Homo-oligomer: A and B are copies of this chain.
Amino acid sequence: MTQIQDLDTPALLIDLDIMERNLRRVADYAAAHNLRLRPHTKTHKSILIARRQLGLGAAGLTVAKTGEAEVMLGAEPRDLLVAFPVIGEPKLRRLSSLAAITRITVAIDSLYGAQQLSAAAVAAGVRFGILVETDVGLGRVGVAPSDALDLSREIQKLPGLEWRGITFYPGHIKDQNEAKVAELSQVIGSLLESFEAVGLKPEIVSGGSTPLLFHSHKVQGLNEIRPGTYVFNDLNTVAGGGCALEDCAASVLATVISHAEPGRMIVDGGSKTFSSDRLSSGGPGHGRVMEAPGAVFHKMNEEHGFIDLERAERTFQIGEKIRIIPNHVCVVVNLHEYVYGVRNGVVEEVWNVEARGKLQ
C-alpha cells in the first residue's frame, strides 16, 4: 500500500472520491433533464476514465484531435465526436479508418472542410456524421448562426456525409451569467426555427461546457452536453462559479527543494508540471497550496515553482511534500505520463495518460 507521501514528485494526484462524485453528479443531471452526455475527454485523456463515463450512461465521447480519437477508440464508444475542424489529407485518411470501426461525427465550419471530408468518406467507403459548428459569441471557430442553415443544406448534398445537427461552445459566458444564458437560448431557438421553416430537424443540438453545465437545460432545443473539466475541476472552474473548491479532484504533489531566501520556498514543479496557464479570470497565482492556502504560488520557471510564504499559515522544511490545486487541469494532465488515483491518503490506482500530447 503506497501512501501519497511516499510518491516521488512532482506527481499528479486525483482524489477518487471527488472524481466519482463529479462523474455521478453530471450523469444524474443529464439524465434528469433528458440530455445526451458526451464528455470531452480532453481533460483526462485516459481510456480508463472514458470507460467510467460511458459506464455511467454517456452516449458517446468527444475529442479534439484525430490522434485523441484513435486513442479513445480503446474505450469503445458507440459514437465519437471530433469537436474540431479536421483539415488535411493525412488526418482525413486516419479518420476514415476509424469510421470503419465506430460512428465518427465531425464538427465543421466551412464548406471546404465538408467537401474534403466528403471526398475522404467516399474514397474509403465510410460515412461521417457532421455537426455544423456555430459561433454563439466566443469568436473562435464556427459560422455565424445566420449562416448555419446554408452550410447545413450544402452539407446535406454531399455524399458520404450525414448532417446530424449543430454544435456550439459558449466559452464566452463566464460567471454563471443568467442573462447571457437566456440570450444564448434565444439565439439557438431562432436558429432552430429557421431550420424548422425549411423542414430541417437536427438530431443533435450540442452545447454544454463545464462552466455553464448546470444551465444547459435552460437553452431551447439543446439536447447534448459535452463537458470536459467537470471530471476533475480546477481553480478556473471554481473562479467561474462552476463548482466549489471541494469539488476539485486534482492536485500536484511537489517537494520543497530550496528555501534559500527567507519568506519564500522553491518546489520541484514549474511550467513543465503546471503549464504556464494563468487563471482565466486574470487573477494572480499558479495554484493553491492545500496545506497553506495563504501561501502565494507567484512565479514559475520550467522546473521551479516560487512560493511566497509571507501570509502562509505555516512553514515548510526542505524535503517536505505539499499538494497544489492547479489553475487549469486539462493542460496539467497533458504534461504528465501517469496519474495517481488516491483515496484516504493511499494510492489506489495508477493510470496512463494515453492521449497525452496527441497534437495531430
Asked whether, in the complex, the Cβ of B303 is within 8 Å of the Cβ of A9, the reply is no
Q: Which of A73-112 contact B (CB under 8 A)?
A: 84-85, 87-88, 90-91, 109-110, 112
Asked whether, in the complex, the Cβ of A255 is within 8 Å of the Cβ of B87, the reply is yes
How many Å lie between the Cα of A143 and that of B8 in the bound state?
25
* Chain B residue at smallest Cβ distance from A304: B140
How many Å lie between the Cα of A257 and that of B64 in the bound state?
13
A173 to chain B, nearest CB (A): 15
Query: Is A269 in the interface zone, CB < 8 Å from B?
Result: yes
Contacts of A91 in B (CB 8 A): 8
Query: Is A159 in the interface zone, CB < 8 Å from B?
Result: no
Q: How many copies does the complex hold?
A: 2
Query: Is A357 in the interface zone, CB < 8 Å from B?
Result: yes
Contacts of A356 in B (CB 8 A): 357
Q: How many residues of A contact B (CB 8 A)?
A: 61
Asked whether, in the complex, the Cβ of B84 is within 8 Å of the Cβ of A303, the reply is yes
Query: Is A330 in the interface zone, CB < 8 Å from B?
Result: yes
Asked whether, in the complex, the Cβ of B85 is within 8 Å of the Cβ of A257, the reply is yes
A277-B271 contact in complex given A88-B9, A140-B301, A257-B141, C-beta closer than 8 Å: yes
Asked whether, in the complex, the Cβ of A318 is within 8 Å of the Cβ of B266, the reply is no
Given contacts A64-B303, A356-B357, 17 further A-B contacts (CB under 8 A): A8-B88, A10-B359, A11-B360, A65-B303, A87-B319, A109-B260, A112-B317, A141-B257, A141-B258, A141-B304, A144-B260, A171-B301, A271-B277, A272-B357, A276-B277, A302-B334, A336-B359
Which of B42, B142, B260, B336 sits near A143, CB closer than 8 Å?
B260
A and B contact pairs by CB, cutoff 8 A, 14 listed? A42-B303, A85-B257, A85-B258, A110-B318, A113-B318, A135-B260, A139-B261, A140-B266, A141-B257, A144-B260, A272-B357, A276-B276, A335-B359, A357-B357
Asked whether, in the complex, the Cβ of A112 is within 8 Å of the Cβ of B319, the reply is yes
Q: Which of A224-275 contact B (CB under 8 A)?
A: 255-258, 260-261, 264, 266, 268-269, 271-273, 275
Contacts of A85 in B (CB 8 A): 257-258, 318
Query: Is A306 in the interface zone, CB < 8 Å from B?
Result: yes
Can you list the 4 inter-chain pairs with the closest CB atoms, starting with the nearest? A8-B90, A141-B258, A85-B257, A64-B303
A residues adjacent to B (C-beta < 8 A): 8-11, 42, 64-65, 84-85, 87-88, 90-91, 109-110, 112-113, 116, 135, 139-144, 171, 255-258, 260-261, 264, 266, 268-269, 271-273, 275-278, 301-304, 306, 317-319, 330-331, 334-337, 356-357, 359-360
* Chain B residue at smallest Cβ distance from A171: B301
A207 to chain B, nearest CB (A): 17
A3 to chain B, nearest CB (A): 13
Which of B112, B257, B330 sits near A87, CB closer than 8 Å?
B257
How many Å lie between the Cα of A357 and that of B338 in the bound state?
10
